[in-house]
Structure 1
Amino acid sequence: MSDFKAQDLSISLQKKLLGKMAKKSLAKLFIDDISAQLLDNLHRLSKFNGQYEKKESNKIVKHIIKLIIKTAIIAKNDCFTDDDLTDAEILKEEFRSICMTIVSFHELDFSYDRNYLISSLDKCKQTLKRLLKKYLSNKSMDRIEMIFNFYTKPEFLDTFFRQTDGEIKHLRDDIIRDLSILLEKGLI
Structure 2
Amino acid sequence: MELQSWLLYHLVAANDCNQVMQSAATGGGGFPGGSSGSRARDLGLRAQKKILGRVISTGAGRSLLIDDATTSLLDNLYRLAEKAVKKNPGLDKKQPEKVLKNIVKLSIKIGLLQRNQQLGVADEPKIVEIRSSLRAAAMAVVSFYELEFSFDKLYLTRSLERCRTVIQSLIGSHLTDKSQDRCHQVFDFVTHPEFLEAVFGQNSELRPTLGLLVNDINKALDAGHL
**When the two structures are superposed, what TM-score results if normalisation uses the length of structure 2?**
0.76
Q: Quote the offset at 1:81 in angstroms.
A: 0.6
Partner of 1:32: 67
Instruction: Work out whether residues 163 and 169 of structure 1, in 8 Å CA contact, stay in contact via their aligned partners in 2.
Output: no
Q: Deviations over 1:90-137 (max 9, x none)?
A: 100110111011101111112211001111111110110110112211
Q: How does 1:86-125 map to 2 (within 5 A)?
A: 86-125=125-164
The one of 27, 46, 53 equivalent to 1:19 is 53
Report what 1:178 is aligned to: 216
Aligned mates of 1:43, 1:15 — CA distance in 2: 24
Q: Tell me by how many angstroms 1:15 deviates.
A: 2.0
Number of the residue aligned with 1:43: 78
In 2, are the aligned partners of 1:30 and 1:72 still within 8 Å (CA)? Answer: no
Alignment match of 1:71 (pick from 105, 110, 113): 110
Contact 2:142 2:214 (8 Å CA) reproduced: yes
In 1, Cα distance between equivalents of 2:43 and 2:197: 45
CA RMSD of aligned residues (A): 1.8
* 2:21 match: none
Aligned partner letter, 1:17: I
In the alignment, the residues of structure 2 paired with residue 159 and residue 140 of structure 1 have an alpha-carbon distance, to the nearest angstrom, of 28
Is it true that 1:10 corresponds to 2:44 in the alignment? yes
Cα distance in 2 for residues equivalent to 1:165 and 1:46 = 13
| Count of matched residue pairs | 186
TM-score relative to the length of structure 1: 0.90
**How many Å apart are 1:83 and its aligned residue?**
1.2
2:40 corresponds to which letter in structure 1? A
More helix by share: 1
Q: Indicate the SS of the match to 1:54.
A: coil
Q: Does 1:144 align with 2:183?
A: yes
Q: Give the 5 Å matches for 1:159-174.
A: 159-164=198-203, 166=205, 168-174=206-212
Q: What's the offset of the Cα at 1:31?
A: 2.3
- C-alpha deviation, 1:70, in angstroms: 1.1
